[in-house]
Amino acid sequence: MNLQQLSQNLNVLVRSVGAFILHEGENFDRSKTEHKGFNDLVSYVDKQAEEQLVEGLRKILPEAGFITEENTATNRGERYNWVIDPLDGTTNFIHGLPAYTVSVGLMDGDEVVVGVVHDPNRDECFSAHKGGGAFCNDNPIKVSDAPALKDSLIATGFPYYDFNLTQQYLQVLGGFMSKSHGIRRIGSAALDLVYVAIGRFEGFFEYNLNAWDVAGGAIIVQEAGGKVSKFTEGGDYIFGREIVASNTSIHSEMLETIAEHWKQPGN
């Protein structure tokens, strides 16, 4: 398989879907929003964007299956699977906040081998394939060279539907506030990840995430020279519901800061 060519084809498709989302956002009617669950919002834009992605991806790699947020395609492939978030940052989109992305990753077995994250508002398309480096609009990118947490800007995502671990999480936030340049919360995990890859953030952490939130961005961080893990070393950060991404230099400090306050459920 030519991963470079596949990544280029994916770039074209994801950009076209991003253009559709941007156009629909110009006059979006908030009354058309649906609720999948408490604070879990979806619109026709999410669903139609995912349908467009699925249709295009079937042409790019017919043998691949799908892991999708909106369940427009549910067939799993024996080897290859596309992991799709058609609109990461739906709440931002619904409220007219220009911070959302289209995120797609391709898994070969348990490994992500291609990722594309497109920010239609800034017209920035981030991409990577295994062993090929990371890019933004075809320009090579790399993580920040900040050497320590005290020199770093950290991103996170707040709990919005499961609040059982809120107090622990607030303690972790306090730890990062006192050790870094500050904390930012954009509202799109995929955007946070690619901002680590391009060096705008030194690190990112969040829990209660799904595979489609992180698959596309995780490989872009890694190919840009960064590191990705769960809240502890090892483990499955794609399906493991939690992630830490960094420029590598501060990864140990991030894990230590989290460990000071974070107790895993059931422990």
Q: Report pTM.
A: 0.94
Check pLDDT > 60 for residue 23: yes
| In the predicted structure, residue 233 carries a pLDDT above the cut 90 | no
Q: Is the pLDDT of residue 267 over 60?
A: no
Structural domain including 215 reads 149-261
Burial class (CB in 10 A: 0-12, 13-18, 19+), 20: middle
Q: Is residue 30 one of the residues assigned to a domain?
A: yes
Structural domain ending residue among the three candidates 107, 122, 141: 141
Residue written as token pair 């391709």: 106
Average pLDDT over residues 37-41: 56
Residues 230 and 136 in one domain: no
> Does residue 266 belong to any structural domain of this protein?
no
Domain of residue 257, CATH code: 3.40.190.80
Percent of the chain with pLDDT strictly greater than 90:
82
Residue-level pLDDT at 159: 78
141: closest CA among 177, 115, 167? Answer: 115
For residues 134 and 183, state if they share a domain: no
CATH number at 65 reads 3.30.540.10
Least confident of 39-43, 74-78, 136-140, 193-197: 39-43
CA angle 33, 39, 43 (to 5 degrees): 20
Q: Contact 241/217 with Cβ under 8 angstroms?
A: no
Q: Where are the alpha helices (DSSP H) in 81-206?
A: 90-94, 166-179, 189-197
pLDDT for the residue numbered 28? 87
Q: For residue 134, what pLDDT is reported?
A: 98
- Does one domain contain both 10 and 130? yes
Classify residue 203 as exposed, middle or buried by CB count within 10 Å of its CB (0-12, 13-18, 19+).
buried
**Last-in-domain residue among 101, 119, 141:** 141
- What tokens appear for 235 in the block? 């483990």
pLDDT for position 32 = 76
Task: Kindly state the tokens that stand for 113.
Answer: 């081998």
23 and 131 in one domain? Answer: yes
pLDDT, the chain, mean: 93
Q: What is the mean pLDDT of residues 112-128?
A: 98
Confidence of residue 125 (pLDDT cuts 50, 70, 90): very high
One domain, residues 74 and 180: no
Mean per-residue pLDDT, 206-235: 95
Q: Is residue 267 a part of any domain in this protein?
A: no
pLDDT in tens, 57-83: 999 999 999 999 888 888 999 999 999
Query: How many independent structural domains does the chain possess?
Result: 2
166 and 125 in a common domain: no
Residues 183 and 125 in one domain: no
Q: What is the pLDDT of residue 217?
A: 98
pLDDT at 39 (0 to 100): 47
Q: Looking at 141, 170, 186, which one is the last position of a domain? A: 141
Three-state SS for 251?
helix
User: Are 166 and 129 in the same domain?
Assistant: no
- Helix 166-179, helix 251-261: angle, nearest 10: 140
